[in-house]
């Protein structure tokens, strides 16, 4: 199996600082029912906040997913939605990396599911593809 369709630990957005920064200063775009919140930082800006070893150990592109507990009361449904979001992103990431220009940039993404009904995997993947193509246009 190819290594390009992966979603490894380095690709996951886990830093509390980065997540708070993403939600406070990030921009957003919608493709209902998915909302993409993103930040684009230059590598020079990163060196002031973090040491070089921390920057190199983390990926250039990190992603998180979420489903609100207010909308999905049961954890089973929240986990299913998050699993579908991760899978859709994992399958669309290689095409995004080939079209987006990430040289000297660090991009943090967060996919948030906003509807109460769960779409199919194919529909979610198509919405994620739409969002990532719009983001790649902004990166150019």
Total length of the chain? 140
* pLDDT the model gives residue 44: 62
pLDDT digits (tens, 9 = 90+) for 112-131: 999 999 999 999 999 999 99
Whole-prediction pTM value? 0.86
Inform me whether the pLDDT recorded for 139 exceeds 70: yes
Q: Percent of the chain, pLDDT > 90?
A: 67
Domains belonging to the chain, first-starting first, are 10-139 (3.30.230.10)
C-alpha separations of 43 from 21, 33, 70, 83 in Å: 16, 32, 36, 30
Give the DSSP letter of residue 39.
Answer: E
């Amino acid at each position: 199996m190819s290594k390009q369709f992966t979603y490894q630990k380095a690709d996951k957005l886990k830093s509390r600082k980065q997540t708070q920064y993403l939600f406070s200063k990030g921009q957003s775009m919608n493709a209902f029912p998915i909302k993409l919140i993103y930040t684009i930082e230059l590598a020079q800006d990163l060196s002031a906040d973090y040491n070089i070893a921390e920057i190199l150990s983390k990926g250039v592109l990190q992603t998180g997913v979420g489903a609100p507990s207010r909308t999905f009361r049961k954890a089973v449904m929240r986990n299913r939605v998050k699993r579908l979001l991760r899978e859709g992103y994992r399958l669309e990431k290689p095409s995004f990396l080939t079209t987006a220009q990430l040289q000297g940039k660090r991009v943090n993404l967060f996919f948030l599911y906003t509807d109460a009904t769960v779409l199919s995997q194919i529909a979610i993947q198509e919405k994620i593809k739409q969002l990532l193509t719009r983001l790649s246009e902004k990166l150019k």
